[in-house]
Amino acid sequence: MSTIKYPTGIHMNVSTTIQDRHSRRGMSLESDVNDSNAYYREMDKAVIYKKPTPVQVVKVDYPARNKAKIVEAYYKTPSTTDYNGIYRGKYIDFEAKETKNKVNFPLLMIHDHQIRHLKQVTKHGGIGFFIIRFNAHSKTYLVDSDLLIAEIERTDKSSIPYSWFETNGDLIQEGLFPRLSYLKNVDARYFKEEK
Amino acid sequence: MSTIKYPTGIHMNVSTTIQDRHSRRGMSLESDVNDSNAYYREMDKAVIYKKPTPVQVVKVDYPARNKAKIVEAYYKTPSTTDYNGIYRGKYIDFEAKETKNKVNFPLLMIHDHQIRHLKQVTKHGGIGFFIIRFNAHSKTYLVDSDLLIAEIERTDKSSIPYSWFETNGDLIQEGLFPRLSYLKNVDARYFKEEK
């Protein structure tokens, strides 16, 4: 039961961690992306956050002083993607999705407002992409948003085959710190000439 | 009771609008900033949104199929500022605050996590600022985040005098479309050499 002493004071139990890697299939992509962003912020590499889920608050009670309790609220549809921030001076914007489907990525997982938003982002000079995990393959890809949106608009099917992602996506390396080193893929795809 | 036909299909009643300008003191800065951002997105000038207020959801009921009702939740402290997005290829990040105080801006209105976040933003090459409205003067200023944070860290007082903002802030022009033309101030301050 040794522990890794992480430079910035985060301690992690090795045996738990190894066990985690075995049960990764059950872990959510969202928590992996959030952990990776926390790591990148801690390392001062990038400032990227998940946006809070928008909630329409209808009724608030004040059972104790200074303590507002929301007692009626509803989830709202977000207008944008889930993640944005800054990396190497550039605006970064992406959406993360995971599927258990072995052969296809179902297109109903990507919403019109996300497509519209990512189109605007790249038009204004930002970097836009999707992070898509295929749980059945234990593989996570970074896919350029313009590329995937073009394919969505080209196809008349309700899904895109896994093989398309193998060809057009950038396989993200998975590990401990960070769980998803997706900024390496961003470097390779969007900062090629500056290397 | 004539109406202005707005190019993209937004209609506005002129008399209501003029009345609004008289009662602007009671309107919130947040709604002015949100309206301005909607205008800028509509005009395809910038893609800037307010982040949703983060809420910790504790209990959800499902009174009807496909309709989740949140019945217990609490407001969480945000980790970042309220607004971010992209303009002219640059990452933009800011916080908006308004005060009724005539002579001072009280520093307890700006939180440590906002200062920390804006420092990170400018360090990584983004544009960071505050939009600060003095309701008693009917004046709204854009203040560079590095400038205001330096002043906050320099002073041993619990507030910064209004006169400091007159000297160091950029007065934002107010109108109908957009309510706050703060991107003009961004142009002047951050894109000078490119004009």
Q: Are A48 and A36 in contact (CB under 8 A)?
A: no
In sequence order, what are the residues at sequence separation of 6 or more whose Cβ sits closer than 8 angstroms to the Cβ of residue A5? A11
pLDDT tens digits along A75-131: 999 999 999 999 999 999 999 999 999 999 999 999 999 999 999 999 999 999 999
- Residue A21 vs residue A164, higher pLDDT: A164
Residue B47 Cα, gap to closest chain A Cα (Å)? 7
Bridge partners of A160, per DSSP, are A105
pLDDT tens for A13-57 read 333 343 344 444 445 999 999 999 999 999 999 999 999 999 999
Q: What is the β-pairing status of strands A127-134 and A90-99? A: parallel
Looking at residue B65, its pLDDT comes to 72
**Six-digit token pair at B27?**
């309107």
Backbone angles phi, psi at A67, to 5 degrees: -130, 95
pLDDT for A25: 43
Q: Which of A68, A86, A121 sits opposite B125 (nearest CB)?
A: A86
The confidence score (pLDDT) of residue A195 equals 53
Q: What is the 3-state secondary structure (H, E, C) of chain B?
A: CCEEECCCCCEEEHHHHHHHHHCHHHCCHHHHHHHHHHHHHHCCCEEEEECCCCEEEEEEEEEECCEEEEEEEEECCCCCCCEEEEECCEEEEEEEEEECCCCEEEHHHCCHHHHHHHHHHHHCCCEEEEEEEEHHHCEEEEEEHHHHHHHHHHCCCCEEEHHHHHHHCEECCECCCCCECHHHHHHHHHCHHHC
* pLDDT given for residue A193 in this prediction: 72
pLDDT of residue B109: 96
d(CA B177, CA A114): 26
| Chain B residue whose CA is closest to A78 | B52
Give the containing element (helix H, strand E) for A166: helix A162-168
Tell me the pLDDT band of A65, cut-offs 50, 70 and 90.
Answer: confident
Chain B: residue whose CA lies nearest to A77: B52
CA distance B129 to chain A (A): 15
The confidence score (pLDDT) of residue A67 equals 83
CB–CB contact B124 A47 (8 Å): yes
Predicted confidence band at A10 (pLDDT cuts at 50, 70, 90)? very low
pLDDT of residue A24: 46
Q: According to the model, what pLDDT value does residue B20 have?
A: 42
**With a CB-CB cutoff of 8 Å, which residues 109-148 of chain A face chain B?**
117, 120-121, 123-126
What is the pLDDT, as a whole number, of residue B194? 62
Are the beta carbons of B54 and A57 separated by less than 8 Å? no
- Contacts of residue B75 in chain A, CB cutoff 8 Å? 68, 70
Structure tokens at B20: 């609004």
The 3-state DSSP composition of chain A as helix, strand, coil percent (nearest 5) reads 35, 35, 25
SS3 state of residue A99: strand
Residues in Cβ contact with A21 at an 8 Å cutoff, skipping those fewer than 6 apart: none
* Tens of each residue's pLDDT in chain B, 195 residues: 344 444 444 444 333 343 344 444 445 999 999 999 999 999 999 999 999 999 999 999 998 777 899 999 999 999 999 999 999 999 999 999 999 999 999 999 999 999 999 999 999 999 999 999 999 999 999 999 999 999 999 999 999 999 999 999 999 999 999 999 999 999 999 998 765
| ipTM metric | 0.84
Residue A2 Cα, gap to closest chain B Cα (Å):
32
Whether the CB of B90 is below 8 Å from some CB of chain A: the reply is: yes
DSSP class of residue A155 equals -
Contact across the interface for A49 and B79, Cβ inside 8 Å: yes
Q: What is the pTM of this model?
A: 0.85
pLDDT of residue B195: 53
